[in-house]
């Protein structure tokens, strides 16, 4: 379908910047709460394990069941969002995952934790692709990489940056059960505000945010005709293998293998969040200018260098913080670009959430679900230090994916 020129675009009015920043801000806060709900269990696990009698393999399963449920939900709910609109998926999803996060504190057994975390994964998987495309639709095209980076940055900032520090400090004054209950109320507030603000985007307007400029109806299976989608599915497996393996088992690696204290572990682990936040804030915005593909290649190489530094660093909290932060700076850059601009820009407007959902879903199921289970078993039987080899192998495959991507950045496509 030919590109929509300025003369053929729908009747133009000044860009609604106020709406753009309201939506980006609220969806950013929502994704931050997703990060807290998902990752706060990691620094709590050493304490929970003593109360509930859990081991490394159990942690891998708890992490994996949420990721698998997240992935399956993202695949189907992304397509539902394309059909029904973002509002009918985003708002109920926030309400559900907020309430379930509070229930995690009531779990008294492995079965209860698996059930609650699995249901949380369904709600968070529904929120993810719908919120990404809602952010992109609200953004001025020349800012869509930057805005998706801002929205995605909330997950590492809140879930992996602030949560480990706050959680380890709160453990000094309250039992771990009560910490889960704290996160429910903010989610309900964000859901109410989105109910007041968020609106669905007409396909003709949404098409302006894609490289196809196609706003017509399509079958969901047509996403596989666009080269970047299968590549992104493989890429997400690689990036999430790094993220989930490092975030899930790093607390135990730091305490059991490097023998850091609980407070030192919390400090080092926060590097995942702070590094990831900077990566999602900086690199997608850079890709608006120089292109998505160059930034992806640079990020794979940068993550590999950071991971090597991490594997050769001993019990030095500051050095570990810097190496872990550098690794996740680039990992989160790749995750953000893969699930957001590169997937959504590659397909017609009516398939944007579907494409993002399928990429998120397959990455979560295999990279987020299977990888931590495998890593947990490796750590249990061979030693927790060997989880870093799994992350390194994923980056080697990821480099091949990045080299094969097709450019989608509006500035670069327009230039060609």
**pTM of structure:** 0.78
Burial of 67 (0-12, 13-18, 19+ CB in 10 A): buried
* Residue 193: band (very low, low, confident or very high) from pLDDT cuts 50, 70, 90: very high
Fold for domain 17-415? Growth Hormone; Chain: A; (1.20.1250)
Q: Which residues are within 8 A (CB) of 202 and not within 5 positions of it... i.e. 6 or more apart? A: 10, 215
CA atoms within 13 A on the CB side of 72: 11
Decide: helix, strand or coil at residue 177. Answer: helix
| pLDDT tens digit sequence for 19-48 | 999 999 999 999 999 988 888 887 787 888
| pLDDT tens digit sequence for 101-156 | 888 878 778 888 889 989 999 999 999 989 998 998 888 878 888 899 999 888 88
Cα–Cα distance between 194 and 200 in angstroms, integer?
A: 12
Does residue 7 carry a pLDDT above 60?
A: no
Domain boundaries along the sequence of the chain: 17-415
| pLDDT tens digit sequence for 89-98 | 999 999 998 8
Cα–Cα distance between 34 and 120 in angstroms, integer?
A: 9
CA atoms within 13 A on the CB side of 281: 12
């Amino acid at each position: 379908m030919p590109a929509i020129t300025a003369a053929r675009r729908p009747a133009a009015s000044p860009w609604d910047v106020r709406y753009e920043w309201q939506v980006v801000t609220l969806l950013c806060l929502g994704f931050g709460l997703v990060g807290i709900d998902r990752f706060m269990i990691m620094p709590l696990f050493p304490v929970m394990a003593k109360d509930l009698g859990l081991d490394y393999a159990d942690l891998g399963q708890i992490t994996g069941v949420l990721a698998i449920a997240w992935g399956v939900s993202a695949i189907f709910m992304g397509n539902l969002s394309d059909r029904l609109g973002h509002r009918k998926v985003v708002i109920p999803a926030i309400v559900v995952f907020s309430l379930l996060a509070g229930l995690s504190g009531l779990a008294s057994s492995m079965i209860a934790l698996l059930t609650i975390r699995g249901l949380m994964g369904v709600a968070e998987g529904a929120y993810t692709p719908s919120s990404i495309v809602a952010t992109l639709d609200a953004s001025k095209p020349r800012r869509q990489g930057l805005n998706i980076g801002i929205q995605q940055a909330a997950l590492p900032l809140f879930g992996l940056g602030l949560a480990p520090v706050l959680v380890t400090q709160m453990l000094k004054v309250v039992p771990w059960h009560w910490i889960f209950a704290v996160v429910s109320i903010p989610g309900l507030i964000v859901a109410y505000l989105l109910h007041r603000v968020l609106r669905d985007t007409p396909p003709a307007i949404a098409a302006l945010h894609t490289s196809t400029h196609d706003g017509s109806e399509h079958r969901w299976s047509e996403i596989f005709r666009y080269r970047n989608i299968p590549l992104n599915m493989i890429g997400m497996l690689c990036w999430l293998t790094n993220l989930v393996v490092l975030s899930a088992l790093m607390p135990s690696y730091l305490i059991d293998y490097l023998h850091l204290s609980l407070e030192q572990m919390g400090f080092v682990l926060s590097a995942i969040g702070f590094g990831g936040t900077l990566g999602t804030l900086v690199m997608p915005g850079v890709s608006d200018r120089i292109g998505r593909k160059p930034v992806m290649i640079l990020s794979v190489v940068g993550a590999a260098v950071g991971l090597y530094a991490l594997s050769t660093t001993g019990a030095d909290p500051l050095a570990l913080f810097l190496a872990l932060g550098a690794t996740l700076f680039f990992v989160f850059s790749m995750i953000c670009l893969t699930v957001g601009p590169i997937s959504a820009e590659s397909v017609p407007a009516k398939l944007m959430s579907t494409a993002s959902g399928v990429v998120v879903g397959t990455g979560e199921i295999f990279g987020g679900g299977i990888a931590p289970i495998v890593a947990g078993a490796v750590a249990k039987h061979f030693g927790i230090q060997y989880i870093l080899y799994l992350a390194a192998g994923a980056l080697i495959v990821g480099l091949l994916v990045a080299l094969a991507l097709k450019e989608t950045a509006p500035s670069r496509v327009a230039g060609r």
